[in-house]
Amino acid sequence: MAKALLARFANGITKPDLRVAPTTALSPGQFRTDVLSGLTVALALVPEAVAFAFVAGVHPLVGLYAAFMVGLITAIFGGRPGMISGATGALAVVMVALVAQHGVEYLFATVVLMGILQLIAGAMHWGKFIRLVPHPVMLGFVNGLAIVIFMAQLTQFKVPGTADPSGHGAGGGEWLSGLPLALMLGLVVLTMAVIWLLPRFTKLIPAPLAGIAVTAVLVIVFGLDTPRVGDMASIEGGLPAFHIPAVPLNWETLQIILPYAVILAAIGLIESLLTLNLVGEMTGQRGGASQECMAQGAANLVTGFFGGMGGCAMIGQSMINVNSGGRTRIAGIVAALFLLSFILFAAPLIELIPLAALVGVMFMVVIGTFAWNSLRILAKVPLIDAFVIILVTVVTVYEDLAVAVVVGVIVSALAYAWNNARRIHAETEVTAAGAKIYKVQGPLFFGSTDGFAELFDPETDPDLVVVDFAGSRVVDQSALQAIEAIAGKYEAAGKTLQLRHLSRDCHKLLTKAGHLVVDSDDDPDYALAADYNVRTGILGGH
d(CA 218, CA 193): 14
Instruction: Give residue 4's pLDDT.
Output: 41
- The answer to whether residues 310 and 432 belong to one domain is no
Of the residues 331, 349, 367, which one is the last residue of a structural domain? 349
CATH number at residue 459: 3.30.750.24
Give the residue from 290, 325, 349 where a domain finishes. 349
Q: What is the pLDDT of residues 140-170, one digit of tens each?
A: 988 988 898 888 888 889 886 544 433 344 4
- Whole-model pTM: value is 0.75
> pLDDT digits over 193-227, tens only?
999 999 999 888 889 999 999 999 999 999 999 99
**Structure confidence at residue 89 as a pLDDT band (50, 70, 90):** confident
Same domain, 294 and 152: yes
The answer to whether residues 248 and 137 belong to one domain is yes
In a domain, 61, yes or no: yes
- From the CB of residue 135, how many other CB atoms can be counted at a distance below 10 Å? 13
d(CA 411, CA 259): 25
Tell me how far apart the alpha carbons of residues 283 and 82 are, in angstroms, rounded to a whole number.
Answer: 9
Last residue of a domain, one of 299, 324, 349: 349
- pLDDT given at position 532: 37
Alpha-carbon distance of 83 to 75, in angstroms, equals: 7
Tell whether 213 is covered by a domain: no
What tens digit of pLDDT does each residue of 384-423 get? 999 999 999 999 888 877 788 889 999 999 998 888 888 8
Pick the closest to residue 42 from 344, 305, 300, 297 (CA basis): 344
User: Residues 432-448: what's their mean pLDDT?
Assistant: 91
- pLDDT tens, residue by residue, 516-528: 777 776 677 666 6
Is residue 13 predicted with pLDDT exceeding 60? no
For residues 330 and 434, membership in a common domain is answered with no
For residue 188, being part of any structural domain is answered with: no
In a domain, 489, yes or no: yes
**524 lies in some domain:** yes
Question: Domains in the chain: how many in total?
Answer: 2
Q: Do residues 157 and 278 share a domain?
A: yes
**Domain contains 239:** yes
Report the run of H or E that residue 66 belongs to, with start and end. Answer: helix 60-77
Taking all residues of the chain, what is their mean pLDDT, rounded to a whole number?
Answer: 85
The Cα–Cα gap between 196 and 210 comes to: 11
pLDDT of 504: 76
Contact (CB, 8 A) for 47 and 334? no
What is the reported pLDDT for 122? 94
DSSP string, 87-136: --HHHHHHHHHHHHHH-HHHHHHHHHHHHHHHHHHHHTTGGGGGGGS-HH
Give the Cα separation of 471 and 473 in Å (integer): 7
Rounded Cα distance, 32 and 318, in Å: 18
pLDDT, tens only, 259-310: 999 999 998 999 899 899 888 887 777 778 999 999 999 999 999 999 999 9
Asked if 428 and 344 sit in the same domain, the reply is no
Range of the domain at 471: 422-539
Give the whole-number percent of the chain exceeding pLDDT 90.
54
Give me the pLDDT at residue 52, please.
86
Question: Is residue 191 one of the residues assigned to a domain?
Answer: no
